A and B are shown apart, each in its own frame.
Chain A
Amino acid sequence: MAKSKSAYSEPTKLGKSDHHIIVVWVDNETGVLARVIGLFSGRGYNIESLAVAEVDKLKHLSRITIVSIGTPEVIEQIKLQLRKLLCVHKVADFNRSDPDILFRELALFKIASSSKNQEKVKKICKKYNSIILDKSKKSFVIQITALRREIDKLITVIKPLGLVSVSRTGAVAMTRGPEAFK
């Protein structure tokens, strides 16, 4: 065993990391996004995706949905640190495998390929609530909504079929049933 005389300790074993969807309700004030995101980058937390928009015009409330990966300790810290911010009203943390939570992400694909391949893509996308938004002779733009991992998989499948551009919103989440998250 090497004998360390360092002024800092060595890293200890890390726990198992897991995907979490963190939803933060914030005052829609100047710099609020930078404040929330800065907390993540400053403390070394991960952001896989980010979706943010104002959800209540009168109260100036925005809802930020962040997909993050971390050990249970890190996820707990993220929540506690977020709750300390003055602009944060509430914080929800959903595990990706929680059956009571709905997750969706919207994606736009631009396909430019032969009509044969175009048809293939349309067929594959059908089960993800697909809508054709634009059409030309050589291309089309299709909108789908699905889970993040479904979109990830879909991209690898349609890539060889003429996928030239992808735009994704990042995941958003909501609880099932009549209750809203408090």
Chain B
Amino acid sequence: MPKLLSGAEIVFKALEDQKVEYIFGYPGGAVLPIYDELKNHKTIKHILARHEQGAGHAAEGYARSSGKPGVVLVTSGPGATNVVTALADAYMDSIPLVCISGQVPTHLIGTDAFQECDTTGITRPCTKYNWLVKDVNDLAKVLHTAFEVATSGRPGPVLVDIPKDIQFKKGTYEFKKNKNLKLNGSKKKKISEKELDQFIEMMKKSSKPIFYTGGGVINSGPEASKLLRELVSITGFPITSTLQGLGAFPGSDSNFLGMLGMHGTYEANNAMHDCDLMINIGARFDDRITGKIDEFSPKSKKIHVDIDPSSIGKNVKVDLALVSDVNIFLSNLIKRFKAKNKNFIDINQKNIKNWWQQINKWREKKSLSFINSNKTIKPQYAVQRLYELTKDKETYITTEVGQHQMWAAQHYKFDEPNRWMTSGGLGTMGFGLPAAIGVQIAHPGKLVIDIAGEASVLMTMQEMSTAVQYKLPIKIFILNNEYMGMVRQWQELLHEKNYLESYTAALPDFVKLAEAYGCVGIRATKPSELDEKINEMINTDRPVIFDCMVDKMENCYPMIPSGKAHNQMLLGPEDDKEEISAEGKTLV
């Protein structure tokens, strides 16, 4: 007869067997038995957030920067609904999270009990899978399956809802690997040599190739990034990356064309439009990337490597589809490619010479350039200075959502994977500050900076209290223009400069706010003092809120206006004299 454990003990036993070190959470009535058990498990540290959304994003920051699943523990009702945003965010960006929520006792489910909500119902569309555990003997199996689902195939969030009586009840515990778990609906299939040869043949025939890589490379682990670098170095092909994929290939490398998409570089977007071979590795043809689908890269053959079969052919039809983990695929491809194509890069150089010449012409447009000022701090300049002053350290950057996020993506160069944590798919304002907490937990002693906007950061500002409690020296670098900048930019471009509700008239004094939280506040207002103040921030071994007062009306360029193709970018304000159509406005 195996020893019987309480549901709460089973939870911790499972977490220990899954080698969980940190839980991000917030206690409450329906989850108290699990919290009570915390005292008996010294290897698992609980990080108390100030809001369940903060706990969720912190767990995301932990997962995004470490590759390990983030674990969240919340109570029933409002605890569960508050974490929904973080789950949806993780779902969109394929981030492994395991959320454990308390639920009212089984006999009260369905009676509108205190702090009851249909948690599995609410979270079903924003998790990879979820479970309501009604029998304590199922608990161990469900928890281990939850970890496997979250981390296998295309990763994502899962939720296990545990009624309070189940947390008390005694049951059996067992930990065994589930061998039959399916991977995103496709059985593990080996990539055939025929497919590899087809891939290689397409690369050899191409005179205008481009790699288009995404978050799938990052999710596949650091080895995948190494292999990607090798593939680019043996082919000499240009490469561009999605927002989520930044860092998989060094941003400072000469083969890198910068980010593509709505606010991507001129060279990356034009190369995507004019290429004859597009090799998509771990990206999903998102609408911010493709622009107008009908005019998306009309002349190219397309290859798509993705671990999720439902990503292939969803938005864009491709000529060669390969369902695989990036790491496994690239190691097979490179092995086969190198065996048969010695000195390919030298032989092929002539073949793609004109292509590189064309790309260099596009590069000469210097699409990320901006008019600097010696009176006001330009936000782009602030990010550039931040990059120059932190690039020699192991720096981790998180962001909120908006103009500052795009400027960070454009002007901060990432040379390593897992250093860039941003909410891409869902676009969650308020993501960056709590995410920075999770990153700092995963990487003690490293420099963690949240490049923020003043509007976004106020959404989860309460988490500064968490940072102070756990002595996490995160740096909140606010590009403060007093506007919801991206909203203001769209209002300028689309709504006759009617800046309705995009100006925050009563902002707090961020320096005093920092002091109130017990951290350090720094303000910069002039370009001349920026470097000194940034250095002061870097050298402060405590959490810092940096209030960087920037140009209020700066817009984020270049930009592909939607409904346009990649080769119809706006490079700056002077390109933007066209009339605004009524049709365009309705589509925002």
Contact = CB atoms under 8 A, between A and B. Distances in A.
Interface of A: 2-10, 12-13, 30-31, 34-35, 38, 42, 73, 76-77, 80-86, 88
Contact of A38 (B124, B145, B182): B124
Given A4-B562, A5-B584, A6-B587, A85 B125 contact: no
B305 interface: no
Contact of A4 (B120, B293, B587): B587
Interface string B252-274: 00000000001000000000000
Interface of B: 120-121, 124-125, 129, 132, 134, 145, 149, 181-182, 184-186, 262, 287, 290-294, 308-310, 313-314, 490, 493-494, 561-564, 578-588
A81 B309 CA distance: 9
Given A6-B562, A42-B125, 10 more contacts: A2-B583, A5-B580, A6-B585, A9-B287, A9-B293, A9-B587, A10-B562, A83-B309, A86-B149, A86-B181
Nearest to A80: B310
Contact of A81 (B182, B310, B563, B564): B310
B588 A34 contact: no
A137 B58 CA distance: 72
A86 B128 CA distance: 9
Given A9-B292, A34-B124, A35-B124, A4 B581 contact: yes
B313 A4 contact: no
A84 B292 contact: no
B294 A5 contact: no
A87 B305 CA distance: 26
Given A12-B294, A83-B185, A83-B309, A6 B120 contact: no
A6 B494 contact: yes
Contacts of B581: 2-5
Nearest to A31: B120
Closest 8 CB pairs of A and B: A83-B185, A6-B587, A4-B563, A80-B310, A4-B584, A2-B581, A5-B561, A84-B185
A81 B588 CA distance: 28
A83 B125 contact: no
Contact of B313 (A12, A35, A76, A83): A76
A5 B185 contact: no
Contact of A86 (B129, B293, B308, B583): B129
B587 A8 contact: yes
B272 to A, nearest CB: 15
Contacts of A84: 184-185, 308-310
A94 to B, nearest CB: 19
B496 to A, nearest CB: 12
Contacts of A31: 120-121, 124, 132
B129 A3 contact: no
Contacts of B564: 4
12 contacts: A3-B578, A4-B562, A4-B581, A9-B287, A9-B290, A9-B291, A13-B294, A31-B120, A34-B121, A38-B124, A80-B310, A86-B145
Contacts of B578: 3, 5
Contacts of A7: 262, 490, 562, 587-588
B561 A6 contact: yes
A50 B584 CA distance: 39
A85 B181 CA distance: 11
B493 A5 contact: yes
A83 B291 CA distance: 29
A86 B262 CA distance: 35
Contacts of A2: 581-584
B15 to A, nearest CB: 21
A6 B490 CA distance: 8
Which of B185, B186, B287 gathers the greatest number of chain A CB atoms within 10 Å? B185
Contacts of A82: 185
A31 B581 CA distance: 46
Contacts of A81: 310
Nearest to B294: A12
A83 B185 CA distance: 4
Given A9-B293, A77-B310, A84-B310, A4 B561 contact: yes
A17 B124 CA distance: 28
